[in-house]
Amino acid sequence: MPLNATSLRNAIKSAMDAVTASIGYEQGNLPSPSIYMDTLADTLRTYLINNLTIQYSWVAYTGGGSQDPVTSFTAVISIPSLSISQKSSLSEWGIELKNKIQSNVIISAPAGFSTNTGVLTGGTVSFSYSYATEYSSALLTFCNQLISMIYSMSATPLSGTHGPYTGSTTGFTIS
């Protein structure tokens, strides 16, 4: 399933609302900002594992020159951990998000392949303040900017074996 700003916004909003309800905000209890950062990180981690798709093209041959009939595969995404902290500016926070995603997303070939693991690299950080007066609209703007940043990244090539074939990826798409 491709990344979708509305579904990401809904997941984040639901998780944040649950935190607010659990601390008794209506009774005047104020949460620590780190609770919301941890919740955002956990929600983003789960969302990316479940929705980030990287499709690779694959070219491989046997030692005798026979080509692998498999010409593409969908990578397996894992994110062992993800943490996000508050920053003093939106641009600093955008850079942290990019760096955290790149250092924590692990890209692997599916079962049947034996390759190196890959990561996301590059990408353009372009977060700007939303002037929406409603929280849900501002959050949607953030989610659109985050997904645009992820789509601007590159997935590193994978190489290795698939059964008797030895080869490498020749291109990718992120969705």
pTM above 0.75, yes or no: yes
The answer, yes or no, to whether residue 81 has pLDDT greater than 70, is yes
Residue 59, both tokens: 């070219």
Torsion, Cα of 129, 40, 173, 123 (10° steps): 50
Q: Hey, where are the domains in the chain?
A: 5-52+78-154
Separation of alpha carbons 85 and 107, rounded Å: 24
**What average pLDDT does this structure show over 60-87?**
96
Decide if 123 contacts 153 (C-beta within 8 A).
yes
**What average pLDDT does this structure show over 83-103?**
91
Per-residue model confidence as pLDDT tens digits over 113-170: 999 999 999 999 988 888 878 889 999 999 999 999 999 999 999 999 999 999 999 9
SS3 8: helix
The answer, yes or no, to whether residue 2 has pLDDT greater than 90, is no
Q: Which pLDDT value is given to residue 1?
A: 64
Closest CA to 50 of 25, 21, 30, 79: 79
- pLDDT confidence band for 30 (50 / 70 / 90): confident
**What average pLDDT does this structure show over 61-68?**
97
Mean pLDDT, all residues of the chain: 93
